[in-house]
Amino acid sequence: MTEHEGHNSAARGAGVILAAQGQLPQAPGVYRMLDGAGEALYVGKARSLKQRVLAYTQPARLPERLRRMVADTASLEVITTHTEAEALLLEANLIKRLKPRYNIVLRDDKSYPWLMLTEDHAFPQIAKHRGAQTRRASYWGPFASAWSVNQTVNAMQRVFLLRSCSDAVFAGRTRPCLLHQIRRCSAPCVGRIDAEAYAALVAQARAFLAGRAAAVQQELAAEMEAAAARLEFERAAALRDRIRGLTHVQGSGVINPASLADADVIAVWQIAGQSCVQVFFVRGGRNNGNRAFYPSHARAEEAPVVLAAFIAQFYDDKPPPPVLLLNLPLREAALVAEALSLKADRRVSVLVPVRGEKRAVVLHAETKAREALERRLAESAGQAKLLQALAEVFALPATPARIEVYDNSHIMGSNPYGVMIVADGEGFRKAAYRKFAIRGPIAPGDDFAMMREMLTRRFARALAERAAGEAGDWPDLLLIDGGAGQLSAAQAVLDSLGVVDVTLVAMAKGPDRDAGREWFHRPGLPPLQLPPRDPVLYFLQRLRDEAHRFAITTHRAGRSKALTRSELDEIPGIGAARKRALLNHFGSARGVKQAGLADLQAAPGINRETARRIYGFFNPGAHLPPVRPGGDD
């Protein structure tokens, strides 16, 4: 596009905004710039929608990035809110959901683990939990990783001897498990501790999680001294071990600030137009781990702006703690604090400490952010060199921006699954991974047919997206695990679909399946073998191994799911609740199958019509008596 064309496009976009601006209210709210296809270009919030949007009607005064956005704008949508704080929360939600290309976007699609202490059982269970918090329980967290919460669960078992087994396992125990043998559980399942004493342990655990570790330690010390005075030396030794465990938990971790109870420590660092935000989760005075984030944004965005956008989006789907400690002041710190307080339904403080222990904690997080970003940039530079070398090895027209690797897994043809993994200049893109449950029909163990089905489904969908004008993901290089046969099968699929702008390579294992002696097959070219220590070979092996790992784990998950299914799942109208009622009543699917019609009607939760449906499913040739008018349901 020439400069003149760009000016005209910006003027047209500004005209669209100006036409809509006359209808906008002075109220606070959120506005969305949309392109011709209705996709969101930018989402913003405003104290006054009318005044804020007016700024976009003069493109000459805008930076280049926003001029391009105005040029692409075909329509404008607004949503009014009661306050600017509500607008900030709505803006963050829309940005996370729509991912507009002109916004700062936090790509955080992972759920965070929590520590759960159940409240619906006489002997509460302590366990790791992810997902919706629907069970009646107390939840503590979030934790930065599964490792962090597992460490805490182990520590809680060591100090408070709480059970971690499921209710089903608890009900079926007849003797203590190994955890009791190694002094990690008080064995309430077999009566080694009564409900009152176990409740005391639970109360101590709650106090510890709430940040009252010192009080718990004093209580344990008093119990130990009393036990020793009564000459109960074995109990005193057990209490001593628990005190030691508690001391170890309090002293472990890089950050355990005594002056902090519940807070998140957030620091941002920028290098070469890229940002890293490091978050430490501090709960009850303990460090629940840390995680690095890399928001997507324009290179010119300043660190305080990136930090403010990160905070708003980060707490969109999780409760903010009472205190946020930052390494940089925000331009709208009061507004951010108001919005977070509104979301949490209590006061949330946003602070930038300048001295003391809190400042030391923030500086530590800042150092972690800098180190993480430096590592990421170094890895990206190394990845870029590998991709350039890969392009030279396979004579690609340009450095590949997207590599897709395909593999499949099955056991003698059962539970067949195919997978696709994706790599680019940033490394593995796990959010882009795909699973393919092979539908068939195919002969058991026919890897060629599995590959054909996978590629057909993947590229038929991609071509449909292209035809509809959607900007779908299109690979530059396809890598498949196999030799000349797999290559021919894959090439036949691409030819049948008319796909010509993708390079296809098959990676065959060497003699005796030795790593380092692989052969690479390409259509119409002789096989290629790389030197054993070639960095490109190592890179390709990593891609293949990651695809193989993902295929194996996908197959195992599918197989485990299949094992939990039964013939009852095939009966129309039998959902999870009725299936559970039938299994509880008859003991097994086989018992349901052998039951008579009267027995089925007598089962709890099964009415006459459902009983007839079940009986007819297992006995298709049987004569069923007619239903009497006015019969029970």
Q: Among residues of the chain, what percentage have pLDDT more than 90? A: 31
Question: What pLDDT is stored for residue 622 in this prediction?
Answer: 66
What residue segments make up the domains of the chain, in order of their start? 3-98, 114-251, 263-375, 403-561, 567-618
Residue 504 above 90 pLDDT? yes
What number is the average pLDDT over the span 37-62? Answer: 88
Question: What pLDDT shows up at residue 597?
Answer: 84
Return all residues near 428 (Cβ < 8 A) that are at least 6 apart. 421, 422, 546
What is the DSSP annotation of 490-535?
HHHHHHHHT--SSEEEEEE--GGG-TT--EEEETTEEEE---TT-H
Write the burial class of residue 228 (CB in 10 Å: 0-12 exposed, 13-18 middle, 19+ buried). middle
Alpha-carbon distance 248 to 235, whole Å? 20
d(CA 192, CA 170): 13
In this prediction, residue 199 has a pLDDT band, given cuts at 50, 70 and 90, of very high
Please report how the helices 213-229 and 195-209 are oriented relative to each other, as an axis angle in degrees rounded to 10: 140
Task: Give tens-digit pLDDT for 147-164.
Answer: 888 888 888 888 888 999
Q: Look at 2-6, 105-109, 142-146, 283-287 and tell me which has the smallest mean pLDDT.
A: 2-6
Fold exhibited by the domain 567-618? DNA polymerase; domain 1 (1.10.150)
- In angstroms, how far is CA 295 from the centroid of its own chain? 16
**Comparison of pLDDT for 176 and 258, the residue scoring more:** 176
Least confident of 65-69, 477-481, 527-531, 560-564: 560-564
All residues at 6 or more sequence positions from 244 whose CB lies less than 8 Å from its CB, including other chains: none
pLDDT, tens digit, 9 for 90 and up, residues 403-443? 999 988 765 545 678 899 999 888 888 888 998 887 777 77
* pLDDT above 90 (res 79): yes
pLDDT tens across 247-277, in order?
765 554 444 555 677 899 999 999 888 999 9
Please indicate, yes or no, whether the overall pTM of this predicted structure exceeds 0.75.
Answer: no
Per-residue model confidence (pLDDT) at position 254: 41
Which residues, in sequence order, are bridge partners of residue 403?
423, 477
Stretch 101-118: mean pLDDT: 86
For the purposes of burial, counting CB atoms within 10 Å of the CB of 392, is it exposed (0-12), middle (13-18) or buried (19 or more)?
Answer: exposed
**What is the model's pLDDT at position 4?**
46
Tell me the pLDDT tens digit for each residue of 299-314.
889 999 999 999 999 9
Residue 122's identity, in one-letter code, is A
Assess whether pLDDT exceeds 60 at residue 334: yes
pLDDT of residue 8: 60
403-561 matches 567-618 in fold:
no
DSSP structure string for 46-109: ESSHHHHHHGGG-GGGS-HHHHHHHHH--EEEEEE-SSHHHHHHHHHHHHHHH--TTS-B----
Q: Mean per-residue pLDDT for 548-567?
A: 69
Strands of the 75-80 sheet, one edge to the other: 40-46, 29-34, 75-80
Structure tokens at 82: 């009661």
Q: With CA atoms as reference, report the closest residue to 497 among 453, 442, 547.
A: 453
Q: What is the pLDDT of residue 94?
A: 94
pLDDT of 563 reads 47
| Mean pLDDT in residue range 223-235 | 80
One-character DSSP codes across 576-614: HHHHHHHHHHHSSHHHHHH--HHHHHHSTT--HHHHHHH
- Give the fold, CATH level 3, of 263-375: Nucleotidyltransferase; domain 5 (3.30.420)
pLDDT computed for residue 253 by the predictor: 43
**How much of the chain exceeds pLDDT 70, in percent?**
89
Confidence bin at 36 (pLDDT 50/70/90)? confident
Between these two residues, 244 and 308, which has the higher pLDDT value? 308
**CA-based nearest residue to 294, from 273, 312, 280, 315:** 273
pLDDT band at 515 (very low <50, low <70, confident <90, very high): low
**What is the per-residue pLDDT for 240?**
80
Mean pLDDT of all residues in 522-546: 89
Architecture of the domain delimited by 3-98: 3-Layer(aba) Sandwich (3.40)
pLDDT score, position 124: 92
Residues 335-383 pLDDT 10s: 999 999 999 999 999 999 998 888 999 999 999 999 999 888 888 888 8
Closest by CA to 393, choosing from 330, 264, 277, 479, is 479
Lowest mean pLDDT among 17-31, 218-232, 535-549: 218-232
Q: What is the pLDDT, as a whole number, of residue 633?
A: 46
403-561: CATH topology: Nucleotidyltransferase; domain 5 (3.30.420)
